[in-house]
Structure 1
Amino acid sequence: MEEIILWLKYLFLGIVQGATEPIPVSSSGHLIIAQKLMGIKQNGLSFEILTNTASLIAIIFIFREDIKKLIIGALGYLRTRKEEYKADFMFCLYIIIGTIPAAVVAVLFKDRIEEIFSSVYTVSIALLITGVALWLIRNLRGRKQDGDLSTKDALLVGLAQAVALIPGISRSGATVIASIAVGMKQETALKFSFMLYIPISIGGLIMGVSDIANDPNRSQLAIPYLIAFITTLFVTYFSMRWFMGIMARGNLKYFSYYCFAAGTLLLIFL
C-alpha cells in the first residue's frame, strides 16, 4: 500500500511538472510546493533533471518542424550565403546569444541560487512578481517577426531567462514577457522563448548526468521516477498545445490572476 501511495505521489509530481513547465507560472516553484505538501524531500537534482528532460522531449517534438527549418536554413546560409537563408541563420545566432546569460549563471551560481531561494516564501514572492509582470504586458501587441530581431532583443530575453533560475520565477513566463516587452509578436515571442529553452535544458541534462549516476535512491525510486517521467512527457505536450492557443488569443492576463492568487495564498497559509 505504501508503495502504491508513493507511485501516486510521483504521478502527481509528473502532472505538476508537465502542466506548469510550458505556462508562465513556474514549474520549479510548483514542484517545491507539491513536494512540501506531500512530504517528499529530494536529495540532489536527479528528479528535476529527469522531469525537465521529459518536458524537453515533448517541446522538441512540438517544435520539430521549426527546428528542422532553422537548422537547414542556418546551414544553407553558411554554405551559400544566400539571402533566403539569412533570417533562419540570424534566428539561430540570436538563440545562441540569448542562451549565454542563463548558461553562465547556471554554471557559476545555480546550486547557490537553489540553496538560498528554494523556500515556499521565496516561491510566493516570485509568483507575485511574475503576476505583476504578466499584468504589465497584458495588452502589448508587438510587430517584430522572426527576421526582425536584434542582438539587444536576444540579450534582454536571455537575461530574463537567467533571472528565471530563481525558483518561483517562471522560465517561460520570464522569456515570453521579455520577448513581448521588446516588441515581438505573440507567435515570435512564443517560438523564441521555447527555442531558448531547448539548449539550456540540454546543457542542464549534460551537467546533471553525474547527479543521476550518483543518486543513492536511483534503484529504490526507479519506478516512481519512471512514472513521473512518462506523466511529465505527455502532460507537457498537451499543456504546451493549450498554451500555444492562449498565446494566439493574447490571454496572458489570466495567468497573472493565477499568480496573484497562488502567491497570496502561499503567504497566508504556508
Structure 2
Amino acid sequence: MTVLEIIVLAIVQGLTEFLPISSAAHLILVPLMTPWDDQGLGFDLAVHAGTLTAVIVYFRRDVYSISRDTFASLATRRIDGDARLGWWVTIATIPVGLAGLTFKGLIETTLRTPEVGAVVMAFALIGFGLLLGLADWRFRGERSERDLRLFDALFIGFAQALALIPGTSRSGITITAGLFLGLSREAAARFSFLMSIPVIVLASGLMLVDMVRDGAATDWTAFGLGAVVAGISAFLCIHYFLVFISRIGMQPFVVYRVVLGVILLMLFL
C-alpha cells in the first residue's frame, strides 16, 4: 500500500466508524471506485485498533467508572453506580457477536464482492438512512443512556446485529434504535459509542485469528501509520459529531446516505 492509500483509508475508517454513514460501506467502496486493491484484514485490524483507542480515550472517565462498578457488582451482587450501564452494554453486544460468528463467511466473501456488495450497500444506505431520519424526526425524546432498561438494551443490541449488512452502519442503526426508544440524540450517540468498544474488540479478535491462521504478511509500517491516522480522525469525529447533532440533528446524514445509495445504484445496477 502507498502512503496515500494508507492515509485515505485510515481517515475514511476514522470518520465513518462513528458517523451514521457506514464505515464498512466506505472501506469497500474506495477500492471499488479506485484502482487500489482491497486493503485486506491486516489493515482493517490496524485501523480498528486506532478507532478503539480513540473511543476509549475520549470516554476514559465513563469507561473507568463503568468498568469499576460492573466488576464490583460481580463481587457484591449489587448494581451500584454505573454497573447497570455496563451490563446493558454487555447484553447489547451478545446479538451482534452471535450473528457475526454465524454469518462470518457470508459477510467476508459474498457481501464484499463488487457485484453483490455495492447493491446491498446501496439499499442499506437508503433504507436505514430513511429509518434514521424518521426516528430523529418523530420519536426522539430526552431520556439519558442511564435511563435504559433491559428491554431497551436488547432492542438496541438486536438492531446492532443488522450492522453486519454492509451499508447499514453500526452507529447509524444503534442511534436509530435509541431514538425510537425516546433517547435524546446525544444519549443515543453516547450509548452507541460505548457499545462500539466490545464490538471492535470482538471484531479485531476475529481478524487477528484469521491473520494468524492464514499466515498473512504483516506490513508494520502501513499498519502503524493507519492506526495512528484512524485514531486521530476518530477522536476528532466523536467530539465534533456530538456537538453537531445537538445543534442540527441527523437529517444531513440521511441526505448523504440517500444520495450515496442512489449513486451506487446508478453505477452498479
TM-score, normalisation: structure 2: 0.89
**Matched ranges for 1:135-174 at <5 A:** 135-139=133-137, 140-174=139-173
Question: Shift in Å at residue 87 of structure 1?
Answer: 4.8
Q: After superposition, give the CA deviation of every residue in 1:84-111 in whole Å (9 maximum; x if it has no partner).
A: x635111111111100000101112122
Residues 222 and 42 of structure 1: CA distance in aligned 2, closer, same or farther (over 3 Å): farther
Secondary structure (helix, strand or coil) at the match of 2:261 reads helix
- Are 2:110 and 1:120 equivalent residues in the alignment? no
- Are 2:31 and 1:35 equivalent residues in the alignment? yes
Letter of the structure 1 residue corresponding to residue 235 of structure 2:
Y
- Are 2:61 and 1:86 equivalent residues in the alignment? no
Equivalent residue number for residue 238 of structure 2: 240
C-alpha separation in 1, matches of 2:17 and 2:39: 21
Q: After superposition, give the CA deviation of every residue in 1:10-39 in whole Å (9 maximum; x if it has no partner).
A: 211111111111100000100111011223
Equivalent pair of 1:127/1:260 in contact (CA under 8 Å)? yes
**Matched ranges for 1:1-270 at <5 A:** 6-42=2-38, 45-78=41-74, 86-118=80-112, 119-139=117-137, 140-213=139-212, 218-219=217-218, 221-270=219-268
Question: Shift in Å at residue 237 of structure 1?
Answer: 1.1
Equivalent pair of 1:186/1:250 in contact (CA under 8 Å)? no
Q: After superposition, give the CA deviation of every residue in 1:106-151 in whole Å (9 maximum; x if it has no partner).
A: 1121221332322212111111112211211122332322332111
TM-score, normalisation: structure 1: 0.89
Q: After superposition, give the CA deviation of every residue in 1:189-248 in whole Å (9 maximum; x if it has no partner).
A: 1221111111111112222223333566524x4433333222111111111111111232
Question: Shift in Å at residue 258 of structure 1?
Answer: 0.4
Structure 2: gaps of 5 or more residues: none
Between 1:206-215 and 1:48-57, the stretch displaced more is 206-215
Equivalent pair of 1:11/1:224 in contact (CA under 8 Å)? no
Secondary structure (helix, strand or coil) at the match of 1:22 reads coil
Structure 1: gaps of 5 or more residues: none
- Cα-Cα RMSD: 2.1
Between 1:253-262 and 1:88-97, the stretch displaced more is 88-97
C-alpha separation in 2, matches of 1:20 and 1:44: 18
Equivalent pair of 2:28/2:38 in contact (CA under 8 Å)? no
Percentage of matched positions with identical amino acids:
30
Question: Shift in Å at residue 80 of structure 1?
Answer: 5.3
Secondary structure (helix, strand or coil) at the match of 1:45 reads helix
C-alpha separation in 1, matches of 2:176 and 2:96: 16
Question: Shift in Å at residue 44 of structure 1?
Answer: 5.0
